[in-house]
Structure 1
Amino acid sequence: MESRLIETNGVRLHARVAGQGPVVLLVHGFPGTSYSWRHQLPVLAAAGWQAVAVDTRGYGGSERPHDGYTTEVIEQDLLGVLDALGADRAVVVGQDFGAKYAWNLARHHPERVRAVAGTVPFADLPQEKAPSALWAELAEHHFLHLHYFQEPGVAERDLGGDRADEFLARLLWALSADGGYFSVFGHASAGTSYLDALPSAPALPWPWLSEAEFAVFAEAFGAGGPGREFAGGFGSYRAADADWAFEAGWLGTPITQPALLLIGEHDPVRRFTQTDPALFADLTERVIPGAGHHVQQEQPDAVNAALVEFLAGL
């Protein structure tokens, strides 16, 4: 596995690259980095693909600018990665925010995406109100992380510095199959930080994450420095209204390439988001038993088998 720095769209991105052949671009979410795909890189390489896991802007070994976290900008980042690799087209696979970017890249730039896979459902955003307005209304009733992240400086103060590792551990655990994420909604918004709302995490190791693996994540986030550990995630949440306006121009546009939805059986996202089948011409859905939100880490063998099968059928 090779570590590579790629200049694209005015930012320097770090990527992990394994294998030779047609490109499979792996895009992580929050909280994650390119290391989130550590179980997939060697398997895809052995199957005859060049597997490329990128740290998107604001994460890991990539630069952390103060702006540029919209879908529109990150799409250009990813296209620049493909250009740097000499890949006219690629299969794009995304998790969490990475799935959002993968789905949209497939329908916004179909000439560059051979096939697409994501770990969260995909549907057009409602157009009645901007996301931040909808989230503010929901936050009147209970804590909502989507609303909590909107005010710049608040999450940086509450979750950065010497609190960063604890927040990272709690969020990773809460979103896993055994984490009980929905307890956060039992807290009021006023005076509550995300760290306060999240349940405590058990001591490492967990069934799917060792102490050494957690240390890799903690070091990657900590590289941003106090208050900048989670710049990529915070930036993406705060780009929601801009993304909503940008994606309005694509309402109803289908994804015509072969598509695969890989979602964990116990992923909290399954409770409040559904895929719109009308937006897909060729969609296969797989529910991965025993997995939560970090599906490719919690159940890597099942995810690897599904991905290799999907790729072999192209």
Structure 2
Amino acid sequence: MTEDVSSVLIDGPWNHRMVAANGARFHIAEAGTGGPDRPLVLLLHSFPEFWWAWRHQIPVLADAGYRVAAMDLRGYAASDKPPQGYDTFTLAADAAALVRCLGERRVVVVGHGWGGWIAWAMATMQPDVTTAVASFGMPHPLVMRQSSARVPAQVRANRYLHSMQMPFVPERQLVAGPRYTRRVMRAWSGSDWPAEDLVQRYAAALTLPFVAHSSAEYFRWIVRSVLRSDGRRFVNRLSQQSRLPTLFVHGEDDGCVLPASTLGSQTYCRGPYREVRLPGVGHFVPEQAPERTNELLLQWLATI
């Protein structure tokens, strides 16, 4: 049975809003008021999740005085699912336009997985609105690209990425039931996490109309752009060193982005850079280690 969008508008200490930005409508869960010394914090989720992945961070950051917005990325959950725009340039422009539509001039971008990829890109693609970036479970995109070609274990771990290139098959797997979501999340978490109720919630969100196709398009762009002009422009833009404060956090049990594949992100940073490795934690750092994530974010945000 196909889910309704209302199923992802989960109640909690936050408000749900739809915001028109960059030619589409985006859903955010928002909390906190912010202030002159408390910048907007934009939270970007990964695959196969949606804004709910930040449920442990939203109230903590809001209580600390920050204005927080957890966004459903283009093509996910309650946000619009247009047929195109799943390249990194557009995704970064989505985030920047959303910030402006929220009445803010600058933002701290915090992302996990795919959201981390976008956060890294914001530093050089949207520097006018970006104050600082934090990435959980995703090194600098060019480090990830290089490792995906040169680290044999990462090549094997990327089998899911190559399976996403097939037409129709990934979409059918994603909507067929929770089996795919359960297998991927537990393999990437390095444990029996998540519990079945969370598997069911994320699997159900993938059955919303067009979400399966949209989420697969992210992975298709990564591979197909390699030999195209937009892929070359992406490399040129990301090759520029960022001057922004940067936090990179990675779980040592990550089964998606292997720890050995994450070395070298600091070479793309000229500004303050902090890197933290968490033992016993897999790919889904904000959910697997919420208290540690909150502690690291609050410490880092206080330095900006």
Same fold (TM over 0.5): yes
1:124 matched to 2:142? The reply is yes
**Aligned equivalents of 1:74 and 1:271: distance in 2?**
27
1:1-314, aligned counterparts within 5 Å?
A: 1-21=14-34, 22-119=39-136, 120-124=138-142, 144-157=159-172, 159-161=173-175, 163-178=176-191, 206=193, 209=195, 211=197, 213-224=198-209, 228-240=210-222, 241-242=224-225, 244-250=231-237, 252-268=239-255, 269=257, 270-281=259-270, 282-314=272-304
Amino acid at match of 1:286: V
Deviations 1:179-201 (A, max 9, x none): 6xxxxxxxxxxxxxxxxxxxxxx
Task: Classify the secondary structure of the residue corresponding to 1:81.
Answer: helix
**Aligned equivalents of 1:305 and 1:106: distance in 2?**
23
Change (3 A) 1:249 1:169: same
Check whether the contact 1:123–1:274 (CA below 8 A) recurs between aligned residues.
Answer: no
**Aligned equivalents of 2:139 and 2:55: distance in 1?**
23
Check whether the contact 1:117–1:260 (CA below 8 A) recurs between aligned residues.
Answer: yes
Residue 229 of structure 1 deviates from its aligned partner by 3.9
**Aligned equivalents of 1:293 and 1:69: distance in 2?**
22
Amino acid at match of 2:53: S
Residue 271 of structure 1 deviates from its aligned partner by 3.3
**Aligned equivalents of 2:249 and 2:95: distance in 1?**
21
Check whether the contact 1:71–1:101 (CA below 8 A) recurs between aligned residues.
Answer: yes
Of the structure 1 ranges 238-247 and 118-127, higher mean CA displacement relative to structure 2 is found in 118-127
Structure 1: runs of 5 or more not aligned = 180-205
Change (3 A) 1:146 1:210: closer
Change (3 A) 1:27 1:275: farther
Residue 275 of structure 1 deviates from its aligned partner by 3.1
**Aligned equivalents of 2:179 and 2:301: distance in 1?**
37
Check whether the contact 1:221–1:230 (CA below 8 A) recurs between aligned residues.
Answer: yes
TM-score normalised by L of structure 1: 0.80
Task: Classify the secondary structure of the residue corresponding to 1:93.
Answer: strand
Correspondence for 2:4: none
Amino acid at match of 1:239: W
TM-score normalised by L of structure 2: 0.83
Structure 2: runs of 5 or more not aligned = 1-13
**Aligned equivalents of 2:108 and 2:33: distance in 1?**
14
Task: Classify the secondary structure of the residue corresponding to 2:128.
Answer: helix
Correspondence for 2:11: none
Residue 141 of structure 1 deviates from its aligned partner by 8.5
Change (3 A) 1:160 1:215: closer
Check whether the contact 2:143–2:265 (CA below 8 A) recurs between aligned residues.
Answer: no
**Aligned equivalents of 1:18 and 1:96: distance in 2?**
23
Deviations 1:138-175 (A, max 9, x none): 99999812221112212123x043x2322112211111
Change (3 A) 1:231 1:246: farther
Deviations 1:43-91 (A, max 9, x none): 0001110111101011111122222100011111111110111110010
Change (3 A) 1:141 1:12: closer
Q: Percent of pairs identical after alignment?
A: 31
Residue 97 of structure 1 deviates from its aligned partner by 0.9
**Aligned equivalents of 1:209 and 1:257: distance in 2?**
37
Task: Classify the secondary structure of the residue corresponding to 2:19.
Answer: strand
